[in-house]
């Protein structure tokens, strides 16, 4: 920072667990040191998520541009991912079993027929109703992996670069092939701008 140089961070970190092992290894402690250093950094900081790279969990928190909004900017390759939770984790939280079952009965033709058959069966006909319910449960078990996979894919779409850009958490999507040129001119422009501001202030 004292040399007046921009900082470039290639971010491909999956975060940390926050468990006893990470506590013992002082991962959280050193993560806080990074936050402190970035908060006080007085030159441009560029964070770039490379192709097929991921920024997750605590690592995202450590590198969040809001720590030092005047200096920090985040960019990502179109094939990268970013978010606090993994898609599978979000799917488990947002698409619980009762929600899965509701969607199954709404979209699966066979379950709709079984539901209709169950509704039209007399309450007194316990054997038939029990048999239909068994078929419904068997069908639900068969569909569970399919619907969970679809939910995971849907959650993964929210972690893609286009969505990150739409939510304003990254400044721009920059393909790896032109990243060197892009960051060269971006850094050059920021250095000139900062020098000009310093001249006006002094």
Three-state DSSP string of 115-137: HHHHHCCCCCCHHHHHHHHHHHH
What is the arithmetic mean of pLDDT over 93-103?
87
Q: Which tokens is 184 given?
A: 């060269």
Torsion 175-177-179-181 (CA) sign: negative
The secondary structure element, H or E, covering residue 197 is helix 179-201
CA angle 181, 182, 186 (to 5 degrees): 120
Q: What is the pLDDT of residues 148-170, one digit of tens each?
A: 898 888 888 888 999 999 989 99
pTM of the model: 0.75
Mean of pLDDT over the chain: 88
CA distance 32 to 11: 16
Phi-psi region of 4 (alpha: psi -120 to 50; beta: other; left: phi over 0): left
Chain centroid to CA 175: how far?
19
What is the arithmetic mean of pLDDT over 11-39?
76
pLDDT for residue 25: 62
């Amino acid at each position: 920072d004292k040399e007046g140089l921009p900082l470039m961070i290639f971010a491909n970190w999956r975060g940390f667990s926050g468990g006893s092992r990470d506590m013992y290894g002082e991962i959280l402690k050193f993560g806080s040191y990074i936050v402190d250093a970035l908060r006080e950094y007085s030159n441009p900081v560029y964070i770039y998520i490379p192709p097929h790279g991921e920024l997750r969990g605590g690592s995202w928190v450590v590198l969040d541009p809001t720590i030092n909004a005047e200096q920090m900017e985040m960019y990502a390759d179109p094939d990268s991912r970013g978010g606090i939770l993994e898609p599978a984790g979000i799917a488990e939280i947002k698409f619980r079993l009762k929600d899965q079952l509701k969607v199954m009965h709404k979209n699966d033709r066979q379950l709709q027929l079984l539901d209709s058959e169950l509704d039209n069966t007399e309450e007194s006909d316990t054997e038939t109703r029990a048999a239909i319910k068994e078929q419904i449960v068997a069908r639900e078990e068969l569909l569970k992996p399919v619907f969970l996979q679809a939910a995971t894919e849907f959650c993964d779409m929210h972690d893609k670069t286009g969505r990150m850009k739409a939510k304003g958490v990254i400044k721009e999507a920059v393909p790896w092939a032109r990243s060197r040129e892009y960051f060269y001119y971006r850094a050059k422009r920021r250095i000139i701008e900062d020098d000009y501001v310093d001249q006006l202030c002094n």
